[in-house]
Structure 1
Amino acid sequence: MTQAVGSTRFETDFWKDAKSRKVWDDIVPGEPRESLPYTLTREAISLFCKAVGETNPLYIDEAAAKAGPYGGLVAPPSIHILLMFSCTPADDWMRSPGTVNAGQSWSYNIPARPGDVITLQARALDKFIRRERLFVVHDNVFFNQHGDVICSGRGQTIRPM
């Protein structure tokens, strides 16, 4: 099943492409992950805010946002969750069903705005096995069309066996 958001269609069946996703042996530390440019829309920001219960007027009210510190609408910092899936192809290893977030740390530099074309630079930094679990340490940096860093993060995930 897909849901349209602006001109982009998001797959909502997370198992649909599971067999095509990279597995443990395909993850090479240091190798860049493929990135797809994504144009962030006002509609995507609004739907994201609605989904997570975000009501800050800087994200959803054009008049209030124009009077605010950024001079217009911006996306909430947690939008990086949406961007992670929007900027990666269906076979990306971070999309594997059964992946568990084992911790993360994010730094936010500038807000993403409607109309920004977002790209991602990401890679696995390390992978290891502990207590019969597969761990990957990874980093992610999101940029706008001007090359400005929106946010960057490092995390660990437990991978499905």
Structure 2
Amino acid sequence: MQSSTYAIALGSNRRGRHGGPVAEVRAAIAALDGVVATSPIIGSAPLGPSIRRFANAAVLLESALTPPQMLARLKAIERSFGRRRGARWGARVIDLDIVLWSGGMWSTAGLTVPHIAFRERGFVLDPLRTIAPDWRDPVAGRTVRQLHARLNKPQPLG
């Protein structure tokens, strides 16, 4: 199979064996094969019930893996970092998600690419915009830069 490009979102808001959340994100980036671009690591507020701030980043990587194979690889890295299935949006040592894939769209019971909620998540779009501003979402037809601008556009009152 030929090589594809993946945009991967990374996040941590819990200390792990590598250190605090920023160190966990850096270690996860180092554990990924084929990284060709890395965003700055940003801080963001948590979603849901967690009270700990997140360290977030995005990477672009080249791989011959199919989306399901890439998902399996990301889940294996999460497990190696001590990630266990738990409460949705709870504290986590590492979270790795496929956001975009150069092959376009993929949809199976366990995987949807593009990531179903990335368009509404500044903590994904902020770092992704720094490394892939012109990547076009195959569903919305907008670039990452446009999605980011729409998300950060002031909303009129009343």
Q: TM-score range by the shorter chain?
A: under 0.3
Determine which structure has more spread, i.e. the larger CA radius of gyration.
Answer: 1
What is the TM-score normalised by the length of structure 1?
0.23
**Higher normalized helix content (fraction of residues):** 2
